[in-house]
């Protein structure tokens, strides 16, 4: 049995549905991606309340990485949201700032996630109403003025009864992969889901078989 690399350096910005403004219910947010290049150190996000009742929202920033193929969010003090919470009256909007406060120069590209959570309305809960809460998760990137373009190396290994595709980004800029196709030596191909790079092996596709990505 072959082992899949235990750590991937590929950070993938998956946006399954991209709109000019992310929206769900009364709370709307834009933009859906924040990208800041040095010497810049700040950006903004606009929150809007399109409903008829007030909304309270919490704004937080987490460092974003990919470990063993799984997304990992960690608390950070390098980037902050100002203010960390906001109250929106009906039809109102508020512009919050996202600021990199770390004095350490950016090397390559740093990846974060901005989480905006709609907080519970206690008055509606007391009345027995159903209160559907919304969370937005927005990718945030701070990059150096000059950084290496993505340079991806691929490997295909067998793990149990599955083929595993591993990708390593040796560059200094993120890479988004929207499609993956595996073709064996006979020319037969299989399309893979980008979020799960593991499929049952094709008949006859055994370890040592040459494949093309």
* CATH number for domain 22-143, candidates 3.30.390.50, 2.30.130.60, 2.60.40.10, 3.40.30.10: 2.60.40.10
CATH 2.60.40.10 location in the chain: 22-143
For 121-136, what is each residue's pLDDT tens digit? Answer: 776 556 555 566 789 9
Distance (Å, rounded) from C-alpha 51 to C-alpha 93?
Answer: 11
List beta partners, residue 190. 182
Distance (Å, rounded) from C-alpha 193 to C-alpha 178?
Answer: 9
Distance (Å, rounded) from C-alpha 132 to C-alpha 116?
Answer: 14
Pairing of strands 135-143, 34-37: parallel
Q: How many CA atoms lie within 13 A of 167 on its CB side?
A: 20
Is residue 164 within 8 Å of residue 197, measured between CB atoms?
A: yes
Q: Which residue blocks in the chain are alpha helix, DSSP H? A: 122-126
Q: Is the pTM of this model over 0.85?
A: no
For 79-112, what is each residue's pLDDT tens digit? Answer: 999 999 999 999 999 999 999 999 999 988 999 9
């Amino acid at each position: 049995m072959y082992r899949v690399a235990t750590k991937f350096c590929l950070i993938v910005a998956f946006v399954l549905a991209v709109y000019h403004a992310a929206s769900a219910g009364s709370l709307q947010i834009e933009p859906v991606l924040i990208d800041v290049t040095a010497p810049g150190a700040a950006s903004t996000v606009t929150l809007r309340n399109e409903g008829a009742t007030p909304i309270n929202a919490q704004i937080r920033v987490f460092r974003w990485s990919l470990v063993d193929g799984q997304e990992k969010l960690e608390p950070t003090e390098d980037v902050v949201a100002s203010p960390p919470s906001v109250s929106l009256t009906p039809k109102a909007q508020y512009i919050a700032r996202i600021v990199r406060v770390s004095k350490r120069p950016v090397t390559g590209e740093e990846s974060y996630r901005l989480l905006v959570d709609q907080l519970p309305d206690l008055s509606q809960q007391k009345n027995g109403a159903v209160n559907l809460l919304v969370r937005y998760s927005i990718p945030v990137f701070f990059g150096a003025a000059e950084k290496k373009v993505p340079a991806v190396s691929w490997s295909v290994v067998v793990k149990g009864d599955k083929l595993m595709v591993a990708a390593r980004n040796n560059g200094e800029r993120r890479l988004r992969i929207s499609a993956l196709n595996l073709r064996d030596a006979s020319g037969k191909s299989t399309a893979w889901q980008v979020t799960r790079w593991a499929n049952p092996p094709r008949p006859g596709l055994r370890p040592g078989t040459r494949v093309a990505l």
